[in-house]
Amino acid sequence: MTTDTARLQPLRADGAPTAGRPVAPRAARLRPLSLTDVRITAGYWAELQHRNQSAILPHIDRWLERTGWLANFDAAREHRLPVDRRGREFSDSEVYKFLEAMVWELGRRPDPALQQRYDAIVARIAAAQEPDGYVNTKFGRPGQQPRWSDLEMGHELYCIGFLLQAAVARARTGHPEDLLVEVARRAADLVCEVFGEDGIGSVDGHPEIESALVELYRVTGEARYLEQARLFIDRRGHHVLKEIEFGREYFQDDIPVRDAEVLRGHAVRALYLAAGAVDLADESDDVVLREAVARQWQRTVARRTYLTGGMGSRHQDEAFAEDFVLPPDRAYSETCAGVASVMLAWRLLLSEGDPAYADLIERTLFNVISTSPASDGEAFFYANTLHRRELGSPPDADRPSVRAAASLRAPWFEVSCCPTNVARTLASLTAYVATADDDGLQLHQYASGTVSHTRVDGQELQLTVTTDYPYDGLIRVRIDSRADQPWSLSLRVPGWATQGASVTVGGDTRPVNAGVITERRLWQPGDEVILRLPMNARFTYPDARIDAVRGCVAVERGPLVMALESVDVPETASVDQLRVDASEPPRLIGGQVVVRCRIRASTDHGWPYSADGHQPEPDQTMKTADIPLVPYHAWANRGPSTMRVWLPLDAPHT
C-alpha cells in the first residue's frame, strides 16, 4: 500500500469520525464542509435523513438479499457463477451504492449494528475479488463473457466506479486502512493497468469511473488515478465505442467533452461524465475544460430542464431530447438524473461560487430527489412524470417492477439504480448546506441545525440556523463563536425570490435581491442575521417554446413545485377537467395552497380537432371551486391518483 496518509484526515481525538464529504477538490473557490461540521437537527431534511436511516436503508438491505444481488458475491467466491448469478449486469453497483450510504451514516454518528452489517458485506465483496484485483460478478469466469468484452453496455467500469466512491467515503470518514479501501485500490490499479496509455484505448459506455478515479486520487494522492481519469475523459467523443441503435450520442461518444455545447444522450451518463470532467478540471487547473462543462450546464438548464429540476424527457433511450422538448406527460426525469445533476451542480458551485448552481441543487433536492421515496421509505419513483393521466394499477409489492411503468412508487425495480442513489444522497445531505473560504462561511441551503468550521488560522466559526423552511420563509442565523477578526457570512437568496425578500442585521432591515448577500463583521456570540423569503404561492408560466405546456400555468411556493392530484378533487373523475382562473392568484388557506378553477366536462367529439377547438358555449352554471394543491414531492402517497403540475388556463383554445 502506498497510501499517502498525510492527505487523509485522521480520527478526531475523541474517536469521532471527521472530514467526511462527497467531493473535496484540492483548489476550489469554495471549500466543502464535512458531515460533522454541519448538523441538520430538525425540519424537512432532518425528517428525510431519519427516514433514510430508519426505513430506506433497511429496505434496500432486504431487497439486495432477496434478489440475490448480494449473494452474487458469495457465488463468485464459491465458484458457482454463472449458474447462480441473479440480476442485470450492473447489479453489483447497487451493493456499492448501498455501502456508500451506510458509510455516510456511520460518518455522521456511531451505530454498532450498522457497522457490523457494513463489515459483513465488505468481507463478502473482498472474498469475491480476483487475485489481480478484478471484481465483478457478471464477467470473466468460465461460462461468462470475457472481461471488458462489452464496454458499450457491460457496465464493468461503472460498477468499479461506485466501489471506489464507497471506498472514498470510507477513507474520508476516518478509515483510510479499511478493507473496502484496499479492495477499491486493487481494482483501481487493475483499471490503470488495463486501460492505461498502452492498454485498451476505450471507455465504459456508462461514465462514472471518471469522477471516482479523481476522488480516489484526492484521498490517496496516487497520481495515476488522476491520469487514468484524464485518459477516459479525453478518449470519449472520438467514436471509441461501437455504434448502437440509439447512436453514439447515447453514451456521449459523438463529440469530445471539451467541444460539446450541451448535455445530450442518456441523461444520467451525460451528467456523471460532466461531473467527472469538472473533477478532472479542478485537479489539473484545466480552465478550458471546466468552462466547457459550465457552458453545457447553462444551456441544458436554459433549454432542457423541467420545472422540477428533472432532466431527460425521452423514455426510449432515457435521454435528453432536443431543446424545449419537455412534455410533462412523457417526462422521464429519472431520479438518478436528479442525483447526478446535484453532483454536477455541486462541483460547479465549489469551483465557481455562482448561486445559480445552488438554486438548481435546491430545486432538484426538493422536487426530484425527495419525490422518489414514499412517505414510509419503502417504495420509490424511478421516473418522475409531471402529468399522470391514468390511475394505473399499484405495483407488485413482492416482485421488482419494470423501471418506469408503475403508477405508484414501487418497492424495487429490475433496474434498481434509483433507491440506492437516493439513499447515498440523503445520507450525505448535510454536505450541501454550507461551504467555507478564506474569508468566512457561505450558507447555500436552509435547514435547522448548526455549522462549524475551523479556519486555517485556528479561529472557530460557529452558527446556529433556526427555520421551518421550506414551509416558512423566516431563517434565523445566530452566531455562536467569538471572533477577534472580522469574517464574512454569506447567504443565498434563491433565484425564485424575485420580490419581497429582506435581511435584518444588527437591527437594520433592508430589501434584498436574488443572489448572494454577504455581511462582513466582527461577529460576536448572539449576533443574528434574519433572512425573510417570500413564501406566497405564485404562478409560473413556461417559455413559449416549450410547446407541450403552452397555455398552461404551474404553481410554486418557495422552492416547492405544487401539483394537482385527483384525490383532492372528488367532484371530478379527472384532473384534466380543471381550468385555472389566473385572474385570481393562488392563495394560502390554512397552510394549504389553493387555486381557483373552473370545472369543464370533457366531451368526445369523434375527432379531436375542429375550427374552434371544440370550445364549449359559455356556461354560467359552470362550477368554480378552490382546489387544493400538494407539493409535487408528496404526490401519490394516498393511493392511485391522476396528477398534473402544468394546469391549463381557462382561456380560448386551452
| Secondary structure string (H, E, C) spanning 421-458 | HHHHHHHCHHHHCEEEECCEEEECCCCEEEEEEECCCC
Task: Transcribe 102-152 into DSSP letters.
Answer: HHHHHHHS--HHHHHHHHHHHHHHHHHS-TTS---SSBSSTTSBPTTS-TT
Question: Nearest distance from residue 268's CB to Zn ion, in Å?
Answer: 6
271/627 with CB nearer Zn ion: 271
What's the CA gap between 29 and 47, in Å, rounded? 31
Question: Nearest distance from residue 150's CB to Zn ion, in Å?
Answer: 20
Residue with cell 388557506: 589
Question: Nearest distance from residue 422's CB to Zn ion, in Å?
Answer: 9
Select from 122, 374, 418, 627 the one that contacts Zn ion (CB under 5 A): 418
416/467 with CB nearer Zn ion: 416
Question: Nearest distance from residue 546's CB to Zn ion, in Å?
Answer: 24
What's the CA gap between 173 and 36, in Å, rounded? 10
Binding to Zn ion (CB under 5 A) within 184-213 occurs at none
Which window, 101-109, 169-177, 255-263, 329-337, contacts Zn ion (CB under 5 A)?
329-337
Give the x-and-dash track for 365-394 against Zn ion (CB under 5 A).
Answer: ------------------------------
Which window, 180-188, 415-423, 456-464, 465-473, contacts Zn ion (CB under 5 A)?
415-423
326/417 with CB nearer Zn ion: 417
Question: Nearest distance from residue 630's CB to Zn ion, in Å?
Answer: 24
What's the CA gap between 387 and 564, in Å, rounded? 9
Which window, 156-164, 173-181, 219-227, 333-341, contacts Zn ion (CB under 5 A)?
333-341
Q: What is the CA radius of gyration of the chain?
A: 25
Q: Please tell me the count of residues contacting Zn ion according to CB under 5 A.
A: 4
Give the 3-state secondary structure of residue 627: strand
Which window, 228-236, 327-335, 365-373, 426-434, contacts Zn ion (CB under 5 A)?
327-335
Question: Nearest distance from residue 405's CB to Zn ion, in Å?
Answer: 14
Question: Nearest distance from residue 404's CB to Zn ion, in Å?
Answer: 10
Q: What angle do CA 564, 501, 627 make, to 5 degrees?
A: 15
Q: What angle do CA 116, 117, 118 make, to 5 degrees?
A: 90
530 grid coordinates: 434574519
410/443 with CB nearer Zn ion: 410
Select from 57, 342, 417, 463 the one that contacts Zn ion (CB under 5 A): 417
**For residue 204, what are the contacts with CB-CB under 8 A and spacing of at least 6?**
151, 154, 155, 156, 157, 158, 161, 232
Burial 436-461 (b: 16+ CB within 10 A, else e): beeebbbbbbbbbbebbbebeeeeeb
The sign of the dihedral angle between the CA atoms of 312, 470, 624, 635 is: positive
Please provide residue 333's backbone torsions phi and psi, each rounded to the nearest 5 degrees.
Answer: 40, 55
The sign of the dihedral angle between the CA atoms of 60, 62, 65, 70 is: positive
Question: Nearest distance from residue 371's CB to Zn ion, in Å?
Answer: 13
Largest CA distance in the chain: 81
- Residue 336 contacts Zn ion per CB under 5 A: yes
148/382 with CB nearer Zn ion: 382
280/340 with CB nearer Zn ion: 340
Which window, 160-168, 239-247, 416-424, 622-630, contacts Zn ion (CB under 5 A)?
416-424
Which window, 37-45, 154-162, 234-242, 335-343, contacts Zn ion (CB under 5 A)?
335-343
Question: Nearest distance from residue 416's CB to Zn ion, in Å?
Answer: 8
- Residue 342 contacts Zn ion per CB under 5 A: no
280/343 with CB nearer Zn ion: 343
**For residue 377, what are the contacts with CB-CB under 8 A and spacing of at least 6?**
51, 52, 54, 55, 56, 59
Nearest residue to 52 (alpha-carbon basis) of 372, 496, 463:
372
Question: Nearest distance from residue 342's CB to Zn ion, in Å?
Answer: 13
With CB atoms as reference, the residue minimizing the distance to Zn ion is 336
367/577 with CB nearer Zn ion: 367
Which window, 36-44, 122-130, 242-250, 412-420, contacts Zn ion (CB under 5 A)?
412-420
19/336 with CB nearer Zn ion: 336
Question: Nearest distance from residue 419's CB to Zn ion, in Å?
Answer: 8
- Residue 563 contacts Zn ion per CB under 5 A: no
Question: What DSSP state is assigned to residue 61?
Answer: H
**For residue 607, what are the contacts with CB-CB under 8 A and spacing of at least 6?**
none
Which window, 41-49, 313-321, 336-344, 518-526, contacts Zn ion (CB under 5 A)?
336-344
Please provide residue 40's backbone torsions phi and psi, each rounded to the nearest 5 degrees.
Answer: -100, 120
Q: Which residues bind Zn ion (CB under 5 A)?
A: 334, 336, 417-418
